[in-house]
Amino acid sequence: MTKLTLGSHPYIVGFEQLERLLERSAKAGNEGYPPFNIEQTSQSSYRITLAVAGFGERDLSITVEDRQLVIRGRQHDDGEDRVFLHRGIAARQFQRSFVLADGVEVGEATMENGLLHVDLTRAEPETVVQTIQIRKG
């Protein structure tokens, strides 16, 4: 039995990139930390919210790399001479990746009450009708 993939379907042409995109998102290596929400805030906008309690703005970086939104966090331990009797708050680094569709742009990022909000907008594609002339061969 032949495995039917998106790129091998006879009526879908040119979607090999979408198939690679799906594979890449599956391999993004995201674990469960930090937890996040994705909400649709309008017909053409979204908001990703990450729970980043304990991280400051200087501990976080947000980049777009090859249509992939990458959010990294790394806490700087300011007090190496501190003595903890109990350390239950993890100071671990993280990386969260989100694959963006064509036309989705990253807007602003804000921090509020230990939550990092990243706003995204999607440009509405214009409808294009193209007539192809048939020439005699």
Alpha helices, H only, the chain: 16-26
DSSP code of residue 80: T
Q: What is the pLDDT of residues 57-91, one digit of tens each?
A: 999 999 998 889 999 999 876 667 888 899 887 67
* Pick among 2.60.40.790, 2.60.40.10, 3.60.15.30, 2.170.190.11: CATH of 31-122: 2.60.40.790
The confidence score (pLDDT) of residue 62 equals 97
71 burial level (CB within 10 Å; 0-12, 13-18, 19+): buried
Checking if the pLDDT of 30 tops 60, the result is no
**pTM (2 d.p.):** 0.72
Q: Of the ranges 13-17, 114-118, 121-125, which is most confident?
A: 114-118
Name the more confident of 13 and 79: 13
The confidence score (pLDDT) of residue 54 equals 87
Q: Which residues belong to CATH 2.60.40.790 in the chain?
A: 31-122
DSSP code of residue 82: -
Checking if the pLDDT of 128 tops 60, the result is yes
Question: Are the C-beta atoms of residues 59 and 74 closer than 8 Å to each other?
Answer: yes
The confidence score (pLDDT) of residue 91 equals 72
Strands 45-51 and 60-64: unpaired
Q: What is the pLDDT of residues 41-65, one digit of tens each?
A: 999 999 999 999 889 999 999 999 8
* Sheet-wide strand order for 68-73: 60-64, 68-73, 94-99
